[in-house]
Amino acid sequence: MEIRIGIANTGRELNFETNDSADAVREAVATALESGAAQVTFADTKGNSYIVPTAGLAYVELGTEDVRRVGFVA
């Protein structure tokens, strides 16, 4: 699933693929915001970790969990 995170006062966005479900990512962001945590952590498919300060979150866009098809459509 693709995640795009907008960070306040930054012209670029953080964009990466993750193996986590949309519900798991949504839960992690909601829990961090509700509890007043200073940051939220994400992991991508390559094993990289991203630590994003919750105060700087402008938006979190969750892509679809559909698997891309490869090949020809008959």
> What secondary structure does DSSP assign to 15-48, as a single string?
EEE-SS-HHHHHHHHHHHHHHT-SEEEEE-TTS-
Domain residue limits at 38: 2-62
Band of the pLDDT at 74, cuts 50, 70, 90?
Answer: low
Asked if residue 12 belongs to a domain, the reply is yes
Asked if residue 72 belongs to a domain, the reply is no
pLDDT for 13 equals 92
Asked if residue 73 belongs to a domain, the reply is no
Backbone angles phi, psi at 50, to 5 degrees: -125, 125
Q: Report how far Cα 9 is from the mean position of its chain's Cα atoms.
A: 18
Band of the pLDDT at 73, cuts 50, 70, 90?
Answer: low
Asked if residue 71 belongs to a domain, the reply is no
Asked if residue 68 belongs to a domain, the reply is no
Band of the pLDDT at 49, cuts 50, 70, 90?
Answer: very high
Domain total in the chain: 1
Asked if residue 26 belongs to a domain, the reply is yes
Q: How many CB atoms lie within 10 A of CB 20?
A: 18
